[in-house]
Amino acid sequence: MRSKHENALPLIVTHGWPGSIIEQLKIIEPLTNPTAHGGSAADAFDLVIPSLPGYGFSGKPTTTGWEPARIARAWVVLMQRLGYSRFVAQGGDWGNAVTEQMALLTPPGLLGIHTNMPATVPADIAKALKFGDPPPSGLSADEKKAWDQLDFFYKHGLGYAQEMANRPQTLYGIADSPIGLAAWILDHDASSYALIARVFDGQSEGLTRDDILDNITLYWLTNTAVSSARLYWENKFAFFDPKHVTIPVAVSVFPDEIYAAPRSWTERAYSNLIHYNRVEKGGHFAAWEQPTILTQELRASFKPFRA
């Protein structure tokens, strides 16, 4: 969506699983029409929000090889074909994986990236988590909290990812039952499940019932439950390992994310870190749950790239 304001900064935003383009609907107006949402014309973005291959309204891959690096190359071509010679990129979950791969390509037009789920876990931490070892000594309070979150997720929350990475085609049951699909999507991680469950208990913070049902319905009506799962099988990258991105990176840390990346890890992972902020609330689906906060973070993060 193009902004009505001149000199709007082009921004490509990539969703993850079990999200979709529905995650980003709430940030479209604030980012493209900032003067109606507490900002100035100088905060305007042109937004490009594509569906990942095999998700939503995008085509289902008919050949293998559609992993984050290939999607990143396709996104660069997409921005070029749309006529954007300079742009920025944002993502969380798979969106971060794709966005960081875009950054590693260092295309001339990509000025910088923003992520709400950065890949920052140091090698010694990743090794200890993998083998069930105790945490290394000397961790700060933020590092210990991140360790605890990751330790819980690896022990109790990785089942869906392992199944999709190993046997995605066996998940035809979620393509045959909307209740099965809903259960598979909703039980993503403990914090997200709690944030979603409270909506059905009458609390209005973050998401609504319609938000949640709209996202599940998109998967159901487009029959993309299994085709979306294949991205886990295609992927060969360790999700949280640093990728050594060298272009400018901005990071927003939401407390109920799978893990809240400590500043120390983030500074080591990104040699050109231009923005780091720990926000007060929100989780894995940042744009969906806390669109106002994410909007503010994107405005601040990409301000240095304004013409």
The set of catalytic residues is 93, 232, 284
β-strand partners of 256? 283
- Encoded tokens for 22: 């529905």
Adjacent-strand bridge partners of 276: 251
- Give the sheet arrangement for strand 110-115, strand by strand: 45-48, 9-14, 87-91, 110-115, 249-253, 273-278
**Token pair of 14, please?**
């990539």
Residue 134: how many other CB atoms lie within 10 Å:
8
Which of 98, 26, 91 minimizes the C-alpha distance to 288? Answer: 26
Strand partners, 105: none
